[in-house]
Amino acid sequence: MEVVLPHHPLEEYAALVRPVVDRLHVGVRLASRPAVQELYAPLGLVPGLEMNLVYALLARPVPEAVVAERMVYLPFDAAEQEARGLVERAEGCWRFTPAGRGLAEAVAGALGAAAERLWSWRPNPGLAGLGAVEAALPLVARLVEAGRVSGGPVFAAFAPSWEPAGTPGPGALVARLEALRHHRADAHRAAWRGAGLTAAGIEAMAPGVERDAIEAETNRRDAPVYEALDARERLVLLAALGALGDGLDPARG
């Protein structure tokens, strides 16, 4: 007998906010790429494992099993990553080496600087600019705190978010949104595993009824975190994040 799980009233909101958060993530990563590449160039390296866990590893050691979860969709050779000299395993966890931590802090600075450039640009005085950052910051902070109850293992590695004293608002929002993205990512892994799929299976799945069912289950699992905000606050959050620029240009490919 098929078990039909109850719907969550905020499933639709979870589905709506997801691409807004992802758009900002992609925009900041692309805008920061030249600066990040300059940081890696003297080492003769390109970004690796540490870029996928930069805020988590800056905050705390991350269990090996959690790192494997984060990297489930990507090629990952633990020995190769250690040989680069930026991350290492100790007592069942991954952590930065001293060189890796210094680089990661600079990378986080580059991400924050890119976000500030994108989000402060106001070609029209009617645009929100950094005011939208200030509106979103406390709301996302509450979501990250609430997610400590509903989130999965990768989210737990990113929360509380890494925000050293004096972190500017854009940098803090980047870190908090990174944690929030992983609340949904944990929900998505649980959804496709619950359907008996593998990482390769979900990536190969074509659009259709089965894929829609996985996304619906992801939304159901992700939705509880948004209970931390009331209806007006959820609207303010969606509007604030939607008002932030991303710098994305289809002409760049």
- Residue 34 in any domain: the answer is yes
- Residue 4 in any domain: the answer is no
- Residue 6 in any domain: the answer is no
Task: Work out the pLDDT band at 2, boundaries 50, 70, 90.
Answer: very low
- Residue 3 in any domain: the answer is no
Is residue 113 over pLDDT 60?
yes
State the total domains in the chain.
Answer: 1
- Residue 252 in any domain: the answer is no
> Domain containing 136: what range?
11-247
pLDDT for 125 = 82
When pLDDT is averaged across residues 29-51 and rounded to a whole number, the result is: 97
User: Which pairs from 142-147 meet CB under 8 Å and 24+ separation?
Assistant: 142/228, 142/229, 143/176, 143/180, 143/183, 143/225, 143/226, 143/228, 143/229, 144/176, 144/179, 144/180, 145/228, 146/224, 146/225, 146/227, 146/228, 147/179, 147/180, 147/183, 147/225
Question: Model-level pTM?
Answer: 0.94
Is residue 47 over pLDDT 70?
yes
